[in-house]
Structure formats: C-alpha cells, structure tokens
C-alpha cells in the first residue's frame, strides 16, 4: 500500500542518487513497509536501497522480505554485514531464509554465524520441511514454579529482550521440561507476592518439533491460542510457535488443495518462480492420465459408430450432454472436497450426502432437461434440421441430461469420500478428473437412451 503512494518518490531519489534524503524517508516507515518497497523496485536497485538502512532496521526489514529479494540483497552484501544480520535475525525467520537457499549457500551462511547461533540454525534445519521445528523459535522466557510474580517480572525485565513474545511465559522444571504455560495476563493481574505454582492456567498444550505444520494449525484453530510451546520426546521445551505463522501455513494448505482440484500437482513455489520445465512437469502427469482416461471415450464411441452412421444428428448433441455431466460433477466434488478439508463433513455423513446429492442431481438434471427439450422443440418449429422425429429426439436429449447430471453429482460427491476412505487425498478428485470419468459414462448413458427411445424411428 505504501509502495503505491511513495514508490515514485523513492524511484526519483534513487535515480537522483540522493541517498541522504532516501535514508531519511525510509527511517519513518515500518519494516514491513520498507520490505514491500524493496520488493517493488527493480532487482538491481534492491541492494542499494537496503544498504541505506540503519543496522537495527536492516535486520527487521530482512525478516519481512520475500525469499527472492532476500537472496538478491544477501548476495550484494559484504561478509561482515551478512554475518551481523544473520546473527541478529529471529531464528524462525532465519530458518525460512536458509531453507530457500541451495545447499552450498546454506553451508556458507552457517559459517557466518556465531557458534551459538550456528547450533540453533543447524538444529532447526534438521527438522523435516513442513514440520513444526522449521517454524519454531527458541527465544522464549521460562520461569520456575517456586518463584513469585515479582521474581517473574524481574526475570522478564532482565532476560526477556530477545524473546519472540512475552504474551506467554513457560514454567519448566530443573531439567527444562515443560510444566505449564501462563498467559501474561495471569501474571499481571495478580499481587506481586503470588507464587507461580498458585497460578493455574488451562493445562499446557504442546506440539512436538516433528509434528507437521498442519497439526499445529488445527490446534491453534481449535484452542484459539496465540502461541504454542514445542517440546521434544522427553517433554523438554525447545521453542515456541506463534499464530501469525499459521496464517501462512493455512494459505499454503489452501493453495495446495486448489491446485490439486485443478488437476495440477502442488507447485510448492510461486507461479512466477516456477521454471517452464517444472511447470510442464507438474501439469503433464495429470494431463496425460486424464488423456488416457479420455481415450476410452474413443473406444466407447467406436462401439456406437453404427448408431452415429444412421443418425449423425446424435453426434451434434454429444458435447452438450457429456459436458453437462462433467459440470455438475465438478460442482459436487468441489463442495464435498472443501467441506471435508475444513471439517464440516465427516466420512460418517456419507448417507446424508448421498440423499442430498441424489435430489440435487434430479432437480438440476430436470432443469437442464427442460431447457434442452424446449431448445430442440422450438428449433424444430422453424427449422427442418431434426426431421420428423424431433419429439423423440428432444425426449432422448432431455432424459439423457437428467441421467448424466444425476450420475455427475453422484460420482462427483462420492469420489472424494471414497478417496478419503482409502486414505488418499480427496482433493485429487479434481474437476477435470470427475469430468473425464463422467464423459466416458455419460456417452454410454446417452447412446443407450437413444437406442431405446429412437429404435424403429431414427435408429
């Protein structure tokens, strides 16, 4: 937002090489705004702008930069400056930066860190990608149960400076095991002489560092927490994860689902960052699978070729009918996949879904059937295209539409449930996948309907 307003001014200052004025302008903005501004200027100017920032601001801006800009800026930096920033960055943001770099660059960056920070960075990178360990930061405040509120407040004043948050304070035992978490309000609202052990919060909820990020998201959502502690298998407190990271996790999860629902393998990177080769690879697999599935339409069509020979008019309505089945199937699968993903629907609701989709299918198919019927009959009033048996033809199209749309809604709604049941991702029953399935069966429905209704007249 800020970029739109002062972007042009910034660009003028860069072009005029008026760095003193530029520095003055930048100092007034928050790190997030400066980061957005740097992302928006041309790549070769990003480092110029970044280097104008005072030390403290530079570190904060780095934490907000997109991976691409981070790398551009880092490359243009001297060893000393890079070392300072990497050592000062908060551990979770640094992990996010390092995991985007190639292995050799990571090794190089690690040598820039102080022994203590290097140990932290390495241990965090050791957790698998997409795990809670990659999101956590080891900067928290922990206190002991026998302290009182005054001691806690003094401890915070002395040791809390680097903590990611002071909203939650952790109570640990002598071996660092998590006993309880206390929201700061529990501490602030009590007389300073209150012992910590008398302050009872709800029992400490914790994550394992090896948990998948999605597990953390579910806990944050269910318990409305801002911060959750992360422990190892011995319950030792390793770090904390904050809810703002969960917005990113949730966004990535939705992106993955959406891409799968569009029959693309999850890209795992921004559209513009994906190379042509990656892009084609992520799309080709599904496209070929669907194509091979769709080859069955050719086989099925071959089977009905004599019908088409006798009444080519049947071919005219074929795309209309099979695509209507595909569309209704896409709608149903989209609704069910999303309802499963957000937990609105469980496998045990399958019978409710069957009934709901059955009646939806009949009604929706009925609506299309009526429109199709009217279209053919109205046309036949003015044009001889459909011959003397137009009424039978109209009936064939209308009833086929009901059948195909019903079949589309039923398979579109059941497929995600079946996939979930056998342990696969429901989002794989993408709109194109359902459409392909319904294409093959849809034309069988249509030609059989025609064989029955048009036998002895057109066929």
| Cβ distance to a second copy smaller for residue 46 or 77 | 46
CB 60 within 8 A of CB 29: no
Q: State the minimum distance, in angstroms, from the CB of residue 407 to a second copy.
A: 14
Residue 313: CB partners within 8 Å, gap ≥ 6? 385, 386, 387, 393, 458
| Cβ distance to a second copy smaller for residue 117 or 357 | 357
Q: State the minimum distance, in angstroms, from the CB of residue 80 to a second copy.
A: 27
Q: State the minimum distance, in angstroms, from the CB of residue 342 to a second copy.
A: 6
Q: State the minimum distance, in angstroms, from the CB of residue 2 to a second copy.
A: 10
| Cβ distance to a second copy smaller for residue 101 or 339 | 339
Q: State the minimum distance, in angstroms, from the CB of residue 50 to a second copy.
A: 18
Name residue, tokens 């304070």.
169
| Cβ distance to a second copy smaller for residue 76 or 366 | 366
CB 307 within 8 A of CB 459: yes
Residue 448's closest CA among 303, 320, 299, 293?
303
CA atoms within 13 A on the CB side of 173: 7
Q: State the minimum distance, in angstroms, from the CB of residue 148 to a second copy.
A: 15
Q: What are the tokens at 103? A: 């292995």
Name residue, tokens 């069988």.
444
| Cβ distance to a second copy smaller for residue 224 or 234 | 224
Q: State the minimum distance, in angstroms, from the CB of residue 443 to a second copy.
A: 7
CB 417 within 8 A of CB 426: yes
Residue 75's closest CA among 38, 29, 43, 35?
43
Q: DSSP secondary structure string, 192-221?
A: TT-BGGG---SPPP-EETTSBHHHHHHHHH
- For 302, the enclosing helix (H) or strand (E) is helix 276-303
CA–CA distance, 211 with 33 (Å, rounded to integer)? 33
| Cβ distance to a second copy smaller for residue 165 or 210 | 165
| Cβ distance to a second copy smaller for residue 16 or 370 | 370
């Amino acid at each position: 937002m800020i970029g739109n307003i002062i972007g042009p001014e910034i660009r003028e200052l860069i072009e005029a090489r008026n760095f003193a004025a530029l520095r003055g302008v930048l100092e007034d903005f928050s790190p997030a705004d400066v980061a957005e501004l740097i992302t928006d200027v041309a790549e070769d100017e990003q480092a110029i702008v970044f280097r104008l920032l005072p030390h403290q601001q530079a570190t904060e801006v780095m934490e907000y930069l997109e991976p691409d800009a981070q790398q551009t800026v880092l490359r243009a930096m001297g060893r000393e400056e890079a070392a300072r920033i990497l050592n000062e960055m908060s551990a979770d943001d640094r992990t996010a930066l390092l995991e985007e770099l190639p292995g050799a660059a990571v090794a190089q960056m690690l040598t820039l860190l102080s022994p203590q920070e290097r140990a932290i960075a390495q241990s965090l990178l050791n957790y698998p990608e997409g795990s809670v360990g990659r999101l956590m930061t080891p900067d928290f405040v922990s206190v002991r149960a026998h302290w009182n509120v005054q001691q806690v407040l003094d401890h915070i004043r002395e040791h809390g400076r680097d903590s990611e948050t002071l909203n939650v304070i952790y109570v640990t035992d002598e071996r660092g095991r998590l006993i309880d978490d206390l929201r700061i309000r529990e501490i602030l609202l009590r007389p300073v002489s209150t012992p910590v052990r008398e302050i009872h919060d709800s029992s400490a909820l914790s994550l394992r560092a090896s948990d998948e990020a999605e597990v953390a998201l579910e806990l944050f959502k269910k318990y409305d927490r801002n911060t959750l502690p992360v422990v190892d298998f011995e319950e030792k407190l390793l770090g904390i994860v904050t809810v703002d990271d969960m917005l990113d996790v949730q966004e990535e999860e939705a992106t993955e689902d959406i891409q799968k629902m569009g029959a693309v393998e999850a890209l795992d990177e921004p559209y513009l960052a994906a190379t042509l080769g990656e892009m084609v690879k992520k799309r080709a697999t599904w496209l070929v699978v669907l194509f091979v599935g769709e080859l069955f339409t050719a086989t099925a069509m071959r089977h009905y070729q004599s019908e088409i020979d006798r009444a080519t008019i049947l071919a005219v309505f074929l795309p209309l009918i099979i695509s209507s089945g595909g569309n209704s199937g896409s709608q149903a699968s989209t609704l069910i996949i999303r309802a499963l993903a957000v937990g609105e629907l469980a496998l045990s609701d399958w019978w409710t879904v069957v009934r709901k989709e059955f009646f939806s299918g009949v009604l929706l198919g009925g609506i299309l059937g009526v429109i199709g019927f009217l279209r053919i009959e109205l046309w036949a009033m003015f044009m001889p295209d459909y011959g003397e048996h137009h009424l039978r033809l109209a009936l064939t199209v209308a009833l086929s539409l009901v059948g195909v749309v019903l079949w589309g809604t039923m398979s579109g709604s059941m497929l995600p449930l079946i996939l979930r049941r056998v342990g696969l991702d429901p989002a794989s029953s993408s709109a194109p996948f359902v459409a392909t399935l319904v294409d093959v069966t849809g034309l069988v429905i249509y030609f059989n309907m025609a064989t029955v209704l048009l036998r002895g007249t057109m066929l």
